[in-house]
């Protein structure tokens, strides 16, 4: 765990997170411009998202549906009557001078996220989840890049965001890390956000204060913005907690400020240039009619929710008798869970399939930093290989070799085994023949074994395996070797 | 409702406007008149009236999630105060 736990045991952190998740719609929240990432600047803009006079926003039905899916998945309450509100502030990346958001009637309220820390489940409450539009991107440049100036790209302006606000129930940077990981996993399972933090599809702001252990009142909090990676969440909070404790420890006071996480410098620094005090003057947006969500719409949204990671993990534990930790790894990402279940359904021993996916498949994926969908050995091929082990055609060790060949050269397990003569030798006569050779080659060792040096058994097994190129059936070898040595 | 010069300056700052002393004084008077009118409206009994948030009476007006062509580049540029390599250029707001 992180350093502050040990060094600052007198203090406790109180953390609340705000996560902005870009919804996976094709078009923007209130206009038909594309949301595709990486287009040349300002090529995905129109009068609506540029805030030109007379333009009229119309809400994207799909974005509302995605947001509904999230609220239902976390067990939140859906507000049946929704109003969009204007949040007014002045900044060049917001051409209208206001952001369309939701205020006193957010789409969803309440709900919980379960995180697992040291094998213990902790539930973190959610305050709300609401829809809003993203702002553009600003680049603050100096003379070398056409400045000093701020350059603005409005392609991102108007992209639908789901803002997810947690209760201040997170107590450490590590828990914050777990929370963000869980949210990311959930929105990816729900297929409503790519979760790609590098492309800004998931962003995190944190509110944080510290207080003496067991004190009920909250300390003065600061807000950290611009946390753009999952690891950044933990680092930024650790840094800020240290800073706050240092100030309080030396008798100082925390100033309520907004800080900016600088990922390059790995430090927080005060934000400058934004509105001095939050005075957003929210009011209902008269351009947008209210959104009423009826039972039918709720039912449709609920139907689109797949089995969620925690449920899936529990089911795998019961259905296939695999340890909860392993099931957790297998269900961390939906495509991996699909892969495993496809393999498991085709073999007799799903538990061994789980081990194969966890060690061999994940190991191979890590080596090439690839993803499971493009992995050369797909479920039917892996299942075929595992069946070869099940029927005793090859040993587990040889199977790993075959697996490597399948990865690099393709082809089916059957074919590779036959072509390379890798079939397991289970025939007793053949194995006995090899054992006889070994015993004759090592008379001294034989004598020592019979004299009580039983540890030599492994040595003989190794010799037999080596002489059969690893193809002898290990169980048969053990059985026959013991018999021949004792005779 | 009395509008103080501080109210005017705060509002102007939120809108990123710089006002002269003469303007500040004039807007104080104007805003006071507007607020007086709102005070008058407040006297209407609205206990049985549902709050209206939108000018139209409709509800659930949506678009389907389909991409339509965006504005052509030169049209955007023509509306920009200043333009540099495909981007709007404005006075530097940070640092």
pLDDT at A222 (0 to 100)? 92
Q: Same structural domain for residues A378 and A395? A: yes
Q: Please return the burial class of A391, using the count of CB atoms within 10 Å of its CB with bins 0-12, 13-18 and 19+.
A: exposed
Q: How far is it, in rounded angstroms, from Cα A319 to Cα A334?
A: 18
B25 domain residue, yes or no: yes
Q: For the beta carbon of residue A114, count every other beta carbon within 10 angstroms.
A: 14
The ipTM estimated for the assembled molecules is 0.87
Q: Do A58 and B71 touch (CB under 8 A)?
A: no
B5 Cα distance to chain centroid:
20
pLDDT at A205 (0 to 100)? 95
Q: How far is it, in rounded angstroms, from Cα A60 to Cα A107?
A: 14
Instruction: Quote the radius of gyration of chain B (alpha carbons, Å).
Output: 22
Single out the residue in A300, A328, A349 at which a domain terminates: A300
pLDDT at B19 (0 to 100)? 92
Q: Which residues in A lie closer than 8 A to residue B14 (C-beta atoms)?
A: 88-90, 275, 279, 281
Asked whether the beta carbons of A268 and A262 are under 8 A apart, the reply is yes
Q: Same structural domain for residues A95 and A162? A: yes
B28 domain residue, yes or no: yes
DSSP of A267-330 = EEEE--SS-SS-----EE-TTS-BEE--HHHHHHHHHT----HHHHHHHHHHHH---HHHHHHH
Q: Do A140 and B56 touch (CB under 8 A)?
A: no
Nearest to A140 among B10, B16, B94 (CB): B94
Q: Do A150 and B90 touch (CB under 8 A)?
A: yes
Q: Which residues in A lie closer than 8 A to residue B58 (C-beta atoms)?
A: 289
Handedness of CA A231, A232, A235, A237 (dihedral sign): negative
Q: Same structural domain for residues A215 and A282? A: yes
| For residue B95, pLDDT beyond 80 | no
User: Which of A136, A134, A116, A115 lies closest to A126 in space, CA to CA?
Assistant: A115
Q: Do B54 and A88 touch (CB under 8 A)?
A: no
Q: Which residues in B lie closer than 8 A to residue A150 (C-beta atoms)?
A: 89-94
Q: For the beta carbon of residue A463, count every other beta carbon within 10 angstroms.
A: 19
Q: Do B84 and A138 touch (CB under 8 A)?
A: no
B35 domain residue, yes or no: yes
* Predicted confidence pLDDT, tens digits, chain A (487 residues): 444 444 567 889 999 999 999 999 999 999 999 999 999 999 999 999 999 999 999 999 999 999 999 999 999 999 999 999 999 988 899 999 999 999 988 999 999 999 988 878 899 999 999 999 999 999 989 888 887 999 999 999 999 999 999 999 999 999 999 999 999 999 999 999 999 998 999 999 999 999 988 788 888 999 998 898 888 999 999 999 999 999 988 888 888 888 988 888 888 888 754 445 568 889 999 999 999 999 999 999 999 999 999 899 999 999 999 999 999 999 988 999 999 999 999 999 999 999 999 999 999 998 887 889 889 999 999 999 999 998 888 888 889 999 999 999 888 898 898 888 888 887 888 888 889 899 999 999 988 998 888 888 999 999 998 888 888 888 888 989 988 888 7
Task: Give me the residues of B, 34-63, that contact A with CB < 8 A.
Answer: 53-56, 58-63
Helices (H) and strands (E) in chain A, counts: 18, 18
Helices (H) and strands (E) in chain B, counts: 3, 3
A121 min Cα distance to partner chain B (Å): 38
The mean pLDDT of B67-81, rounded to a whole number, is: 89
Q: How far is it, in rounded angstroms, from Cα A39 to Cα A17?
A: 30
- Which one of B52, B62, B72 makes the best mutation probe of the A interface by having the most chain A beta carbons within 10 Å? B62
Q: Which residue of A has its CA nearest to B86?
A: A41
Q: Same structural domain for residues A337 and A470? A: no
Q: Same structural domain for residues A49 and A92? A: yes
Q: Do B64 and A62 touch (CB under 8 A)?
A: yes
Q: Which residues in B lie closer than 8 A to residue A44 (C-beta atoms)?
A: 70
B20 domain residue, yes or no: yes
The helix/strand/coil state of A33 is coil
Q: Do A146 and B63 touch (CB under 8 A)?
A: no
DSSP state of A361: I
- Which one of A54, A66, A151 makes the best mutation probe of the B interface by having the most chain B beta carbons within 10 Å? A151
Please provide the size of chain B in residues: 95
* Angle at the Cα of A78 from the Cα atoms of A74 and A79, rounded to 5 degrees: 150
Percent above pLDDT 90 for chain B: 53
User: Scanning the structure block, which residue is given the tokens 């869970």?
Assistant: A337
B52 domain residue, yes or no: no
CATH number for A475: 1.10.10.410
User: Domain total for chain A?
Assistant: 3
Q: Do B14 and A281 touch (CB under 8 A)?
A: yes
The helix/strand/coil state of A152 is strand
Asked whether the beta carbons of A405 and A373 are under 8 A apart, the reply is no
pLDDT at B3 (0 to 100)? 84
Quote the domain boundaries for residue B36. 5-42
Q: Do A140 and B60 touch (CB under 8 A)?
A: no
Instruction: Give, in order, the Cα–Cα distances in Å from A296 to each of A130, A301, A302, A321, B58.
Output: 20, 9, 10, 38, 19
Nearest to A149 among B71, B86, B92 (CB): B92
pTM > 0.90: no
B26 domain residue, yes or no: yes
DSSP state of B90: E
CATH number for B14: 1.10.20
User: Which of A471, A375, A381, A387 lies closest to A431 in space, CA to CA?
Assistant: A471
Q: Same structural domain for residues A339 and A362? A: yes
Q: Same structural domain for residues A249 and A340? A: no
Asked whether the beta carbons of A153 and B85 are under 8 A apart, the reply is no
Residue A311 half-sphere exposure toward CB, CA atoms < 13 A: 8
Quote the domain boundaries for residue A444. 428-486
- For residue A122, the cross-strand partners are A115
Instruction: Give, in order, the Cα–Cα distances in Å from B56 to each of A32, A161, A205, A336.
Output: 22, 25, 36, 48
Asked whether the beta carbons of A176 and A17 are under 8 A apart, the reply is yes
Q: Same structural domain for residues A255 and A109? A: yes
- Which one of A31, A65, A147, A149 makes the best mutation probe of the B interface by having the most chain B beta carbons within 10 Å? A149
Q: Do A279 and B14 touch (CB under 8 A)?
A: yes
Touching check for A88 and chain B: CB below 8 Å?
A: yes
A355 min Cα distance to partner chain B (Å): 42
Q: Same structural domain for residues A179 and A212? A: yes
Q: Which residues in B lie closer than 8 A to residue A90 (C-beta atoms)?
A: 14-16
Q: Do B70 and A34 touch (CB under 8 A)?
A: yes
Q: Do A60 and B62 touch (CB under 8 A)?
A: yes
Q: Same structural domain for residues A86 and A192? A: yes
Q: Which residue of B has its CA nearest to A96?
A: B15
Q: How far is it, in rounded angstroms, from Cα A274 to Cα A90?
A: 8
Q: Same structural domain for residues A45 and A157? A: yes
Q: How far is it, in rounded angstroms, from Cα A260 to Cα A227?
A: 8
Asked whether the beta carbons of A271 and A259 are under 8 A apart, the reply is yes
B94 domain residue, yes or no: no
Q: Do A273 and B86 touch (CB under 8 A)?
A: no
Handedness of CA B51, B54, B57, B61 (dihedral sign): negative
B32 domain residue, yes or no: yes
Q: Same structural domain for residues A19 and A127? A: yes
């Amino acid at each position: 765990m992180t350093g502050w736990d040990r060094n600052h045991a007198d203090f406790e952190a109180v953390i609340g997170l705000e996560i902005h998740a870009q919804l996976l719609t094709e078009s923007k929240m209130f206009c038909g411009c594309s949301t595709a990432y990486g287009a040349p600047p300002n090529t995905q803009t129109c009068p609506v998202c540029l805030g030109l006079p007379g333009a009229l926003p119309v809400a994207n039905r799909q974005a509302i549906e995605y947001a509904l899916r999230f609220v239902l998945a976390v067990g939140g309450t859906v507000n049946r009557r929704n109003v969009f509100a204007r949040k007014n502030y002045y900044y060049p990346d917001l051409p209208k001078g206001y952001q369309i958001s939701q205020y006193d009637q957010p789409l969803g309220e309440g709900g919980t996220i379960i995180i697992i820390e040291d094998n213990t489940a902790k539930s973190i409450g959610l305050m709300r989840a609401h829809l809003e539009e993203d702002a553009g991107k600003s680049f603050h440049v100096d003379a070398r890049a056409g400045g000093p100036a701020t350059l603005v790209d409005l392609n991102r302006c108007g992209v639908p965001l789901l803002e997810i606000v947690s209760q201040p129930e997170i107590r450490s940077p590590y828990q914050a890390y777990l929370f963000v990981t869980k949210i990311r996993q959930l929105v990816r399972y729900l297929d409503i956000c790519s979760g790609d933090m590098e492309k800004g599809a998931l962003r995190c702001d944190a509110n944080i204060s510290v207080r003496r252990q067991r004190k009920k009142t909250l300390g003065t909090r600061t807000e950290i913005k611009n946390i753009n990676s999952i690891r950044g969440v933990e680092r930024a909070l650790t840094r800020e907690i240290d800073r706050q404790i240092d100030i309080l420890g030396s008798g100082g006071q925390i100033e309520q400020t907004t800080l900016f996480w600088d990922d390059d410098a790995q430090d927080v620094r005060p934000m400058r240039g934004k509105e001095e005090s939050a005075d957003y003057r929210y009011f209902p947006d008269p351009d947008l009619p209210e959104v009423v969500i009826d039972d039918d719409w709720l039912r449709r949204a609920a139907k689109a929710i797949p089995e969620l990671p925690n449920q899936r993990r529990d089911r795998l534990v019961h259905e296939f008798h695999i340890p909860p930790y392993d099931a957790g790894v297998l269900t961390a990402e939906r495509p991996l869970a699909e892969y495993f279940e496809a393999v498991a359904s085709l073999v007799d021993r799903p538990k061994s399939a789980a081990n194969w996916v966890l060690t061999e498949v994940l190991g191979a994926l890590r080596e090439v930093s690839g993803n499971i969908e493009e992995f050369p050995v797909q479920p039917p091929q892996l299942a075929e290989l595992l069946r070869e082990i099940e029927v005793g055609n090859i040993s587990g060790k040889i199977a790993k070799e075959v697996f490597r060949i399948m990865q690099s050269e393709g082809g089916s397990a059957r074919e590779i085994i036959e072509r390379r003569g890798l079939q397991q030798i289970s025939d007793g006569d053949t194995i006995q023949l090899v054992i006889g050779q070994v015993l004759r080659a090592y008379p001294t060792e034989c004598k020592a074994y019979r004299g009580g040096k039983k540890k030599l058994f492994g040595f003989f097994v190794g010799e037999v395996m080596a002489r059969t190129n690893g193809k002898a059936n290990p169980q048969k070898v053990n059985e026959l070797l013991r018999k021949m040595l004792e005779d | 409702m009395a509008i103080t010069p501080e109210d005017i300056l705060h509002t102007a700052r939120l809108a990123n406007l710089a006002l002269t002393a003469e303007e500040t004084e004039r807007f104080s008077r104007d805003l006071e008149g507007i607020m007086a009118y709102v005070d008058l409206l407040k006297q209407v009994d609205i206990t049985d009236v549902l709050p209206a948030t939108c000018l139209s009476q409709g509800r659930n007006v949506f678009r389907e999630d389909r991409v339509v062509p965006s504005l052509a580049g030169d049209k955007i540029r023509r509306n920009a105060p200043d333009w540099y390599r495909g981007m709007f250029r404005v006075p530097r707001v940070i640092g």
